[in-house]
Amino acid sequence: DGGITQSPKYLFRKEGQNVTLSCEQNLNHDAMYWYRQDPGQGLRLIYYSQIVNDFQKGDIAEGYSVSREKKESFPLTVTSAQKNPTAFYLCASSIGLLNTEAFFGQGTRLTVV
Amino acid sequence: AQSVTQLDSQVPVFEEAPVELRCNYSSSVSVYLFWYVQYPNQGLQLLLKYLSGSTLVKGINGFEAEFNKSQTSFHLRKPSVHISDTAEYFCAVGGSSGSARQLTFGSGTQLTVLP
């Protein structure tokens, strides 16, 4: 079955450490996205990528980094510069950027301990 | 720039009653509108979408929404809810050109269906 796989589902990180969240899709979609979800704030866009080897900052990119070396993979690194990283992170993909719907993974809950 | 406002953060309703979840948007370009549902600790699932054509859109699980351009609204409705409809619902807007190149989400409405 086609879909988006995020791993791990739960992740714990010590303060000051970088951590990488995985996102893989087998839908052959060009566009991929990372969103952060906090209670009562909806989804906020961190980074997005239209094609391989290209990505753009979203609304809250500070403290995060991404790469897009392969079409099916879009990993997100939460760096130690991110002041409040505890959140639910959602990866999504779509055929294109404009009028197409986005398909979401099951999310990764990151907790800083 | 585009934005989405979901007017109610919490909507409690009794089982088998009708429900309306409200969504207003603003955008400087032609828009595409979506409603997503999220169950606890899961990703988002598309309920329905408006791209063009008929302003009344039917989706999964008996939900429907009406696009009203003059009122810039896209309210979600269901005539009779079930306990299993308890979830968080997100309205989203996508633009057709220029800087509106991604989906912008509202802050969500928690629908709680009471027995």
- The shortest CB-CB distance from B51 to any of A92, A97, A99 is to A99
Task: Convert the pLDDT of each residue in B89-112 to its tens digit.
Answer: 999 988 655 544 578 889 999 999
Residues of chain B with Cβ-Cβ distance to A109 below 8 Å are: 41
User: What is d(CA B59, CA B40) in angstroms, rounded to the nearest whole number?
Assistant: 21
Task: Convert the pLDDT of each residue in A41-84 to its tens digit.
Answer: 789 999 999 889 999 999 899 999 999 999 999 999 999 888 89
pLDDT of res. B26 = 87
Residue of A nearest to B52 (CA): A99
User: What is d(CA B36, CA B27) in angstroms, rounded to the nearest whole number?
Assistant: 19
Q: Give CA separation, A2 vs A77, B40, B64, in Å.
A: 25, 22, 26
B41 — contact with chain A (CB < 8 Å)? yes
CB contact under 8 A, B96 and A43: no
pLDDT of res. A1 = 64
User: What is d(CA B20, CA B6) in angstroms, rounded to the nearest whole number?
Assistant: 11
Question: Which residue, among B76, B66, B80, B72, has the nearest Cα to B108 in the 3D structure?
Answer: B76
Q: Please, which residues have CB within 8 angstroms of residue B94's CB and are 6 or more apart in sequence?
A: A98, A99, A100, B31, B32, B33, B34, B100, B102, B103, B104
Q: Please, which residues have CB within 8 angstroms of residue A86's CB and are 6 or more apart in sequence?
A: A110, A111, A112
User: What is d(CA A101, CA B51) in angstroms, rounded to the nearest whole number?
Assistant: 10
The enclosing H or E element of B26 equals strand B23-26
User: What is d(CA B106, CA B25) in angstroms, rounded to the nearest whole number?
Assistant: 9
Task: Convert the pLDDT of each residue in B53-93 to its tens digit.
Answer: 888 999 999 999 999 999 999 999 999 999 999 999 999 98
pLDDT of res. A52 = 93
Question: Would you tell me how many other CB atoms lie within 10 Å of the CB of residue A11?
Answer: 17
Question: Which residue, among B7, B34, B11, B16, has the nearest Cα to B88 in the 3D structure?
Answer: B11
User: What is d(CA A46, CA A63) in angstroms, rounded to the nearest whole number?
Assistant: 10
Please tell me whether residue A35 adopts helix, strand or coil conformation: strand
Instruction: Establish, for the pair of chains A and B, how many residue pairs have beta carbons separated by less than 8 Å.
Output: 59
